[in-house]
Amino acid sequence: MRVDFVLGTVFVIPLTQMVFFAFVVKLGSAGEGASAIANAIAYTALGNAVATVTYSSVFSVAQTTDSEKFQGTMEHLLVSPANRLALYFGRGLVPILISLATVTMGLVYAAFFFGVTIAPPEIPSIAVSVVLTAVAMVGFGLLLGGVALYLRTSIILGNIFLFVGLLLSGVNFPLSQLPVPLQYAGDALPLTWGVAAIRAAVSGAPLPSLLLLWGAVALAAGIAFASAIVLWEVFERRALSTGSIARY
């Protein structure tokens, strides 16, 4: 990835996204008290600080599938003796690091510009939540990349789930405000649990509650990674049996 892209992802995207939705909340809360508006802005700023992980964890990871197809390296991977598990985890390593930096920068912006209070004693819990969220979202990106093996491009999938995440993951408003079927759909997304875990850590939730949320995020990560590897294995077997990836 180009350096300017990485720097923009880490430093620019979190701030612009948080500013945009903060203005939306401020305009939508006209007529309410100053305290209510400030709380609403802090709520949406924290949610979007976490949601910016999507750019590095979903788009960057899922598009590796497109790059390999277009550059002609997919065929070489399929006939190589490379360990498939190492291949998949290797794809996600750098995006995990960039995701960690992106969410951390978003939390810094939230604390300095949007009124989110981050108490020093809660930083270890926040750090664990951020790491698990980054890993889970990269796993989700690998899953979308696995689906994209069978499609022409992954960009459409990435865009769909970017906006689905903003709507169904409790980023800008509580999930409880959605119809029940959409709440269930939101519960299936790893971003939902990542946002919930980081919100709980910032608010100083007790350890048992955090452990439950961390377990949910870790479970989402495991399911995503496992599903991605299964999709790759099926794709590889079918491609080798036909002698071509042109159908996919």
- At position 122, the amino acid (one-letter code) is E
At 105, is the pLDDT very low, low, confident or very high (cuts 50, 70, 90)? very high
Please indicate, yes or no, if residue 154 is contained in any of the structural domains: yes
The tens digit of pLDDT for each residue in 182-195 reads 999 999 999 999 99
| In a domain? residue 248 | no
CB atoms within 10 A of CB 88: 18
Average pLDDT for residues 101-118, to the nearest whole number? 96
Q: Report how far residue 90's alpha carbon sits from residue 111's, in angstroms, rounded to the nearest whole number.
A: 33
Q: Are 60 and 54 in contact (CB under 8 A)?
A: no
What length is written for the chain? 248
Contact 136, 218 (CB under 8 A): yes
What's the structural domain count of the chain? 1
Stretch 219-234: mean pLDDT, rounded? Answer: 94
Six token digits for residue 127: 């750090």
User: In the prediction, which pLDDT does 205 show?
Assistant: 97
In a domain, 125, yes or no: yes
Higher-confidence residue of 30 and 225: namely 225
Range picked from 3-7, 178-182, 240-244 for highest mean pLDDT: 178-182
Q: What is the mean pLDDT of residues 110-127?
A: 96
**Residue 202 pLDDT more than 60?**
yes
Domain that holds residue 20: 3-242
Task: Write the pLDDT tens digit of every residue in 234-248.
Answer: 999 998 898 888 765
3-class SS of residue 62: helix
At residue 113 the predicted structure's pLDDT band, cuts being 50, 70 and 90, is very high
Residue 64 reports pLDDT greater than 90: no
At 155 the pLDDT is 83
CA–CA dist 168, 27 (Å, integer) = 21
- What is the C-alpha separation between 76 and 232, in angstroms, rounded? 14
| Section 103-129 average pLDDT | 96
With CA atoms as reference, report the closest residue to 85 among 229, 222, 237.
Answer: 229
Question: Distances in Å between the alpha carbon of 196 and those of 45, 51, 161?
Answer: 14, 11, 18
Indicate the average pLDDT of the chain: 92
Task: Please determine, for residue 18, whether its predicted confidence score (pLDDT) is greater than 90.
Answer: yes
In a domain, 114, yes or no: yes
Cβ neighbours of 221 (radius 10 Å):
22
d(CA 73, CA 83): 16
The yes-or-no verdict on residue 27 having pLDDT over 90 is: yes
- For residue 1, pLDDT over 80 is answered with no
CB atoms within 10 A of CB 76: 11
Res 144 pLDDT > 60: yes
Mean pLDDT of all residues in 165-175: 95
pLDDT at position 125: 97
Query: What pLDDT does residue 244 have?
Result: 84
Check residue 59 and report its DSSP letter.
Answer: I
Is residue 206 domain-resident?
yes
Distance CA 25, CA 244 (A): 51
Taking only Cα atoms into account, the Rg of the chain, rounded to an integer number of angstroms, comes to 19
Contact 21, 172 (CB under 8 A): yes
pLDDT confidence of 57, banded at 50, 70, 90? Answer: confident
Residue 134 forms part of a structural domain: yes
Contact assessment for residue 225 and residue 88, using Cβ atoms and an 8 Å cutoff: yes
Is the pLDDT confidence value at 147 over 70?
yes
247 within domain boundaries: no
pLDDT at 148 (0 to 100): 87
pLDDT band at 91 (very low <50, low <70, confident <90, very high): confident
Quick check: is 149 in a domain?
yes
Distance CA 145, CA 137 (A): 12
